[in-house]
Amino acid sequence: AQSVTQPDARVTVSEGASLQLRCKYSYFGTPYLFWYVQYPRQGLQLLLKYYPGDPVVQGVNGFEAEFSKSNSSFHLRKASVHWSDWAVYFCAVSMNMGYKLTFGTGTSLLVDP
Partner 1 sequence: GGIITQTPKFLIGQEGQKLTLKCQQNFNHDTMYWYRQDSGKGLRLIYYSITENDLQKGDLSEGYDASREKKSSFSLTVTSAQKNEMAVFLCASSRTGVQDTQYFGPGTRLLVL
Asked if 83 touches partner 1 (CB under 8 A), the answer is no
The distance of closest approach from Cβ of residue 14 to partner 1 in the complex, given in angstroms and rounded to an integer, is 25
Cα distances (Å, whole numbers) of residue 97 to 29, 35, 51: 12, 15, 10
Contact mark string toward partner 1, 52..71, x via CB under 8 A? --------------------
Which is nearest to 89 in space by CA: 39, 50, 52, 53?
A: 39
Nearer to partner 1, 59 or 75 (CB): 59
Distance CA 36, CA 4 (A): 13
Q: Which of 43, 53, 70, 113 binds partner 1 (CB under 8 A)?
A: 43
Cα distances (Å, whole numbers) of residue 100 to 26, 38, 47, 103: 15, 19, 18, 10
Nearer to partner 1, 99 or 113 (CB): 99
Binding site for partner 1 (CB under 8 A): 6, 9, 32, 34, 36, 41-46, 49, 51, 90, 94, 97-101, 103-106
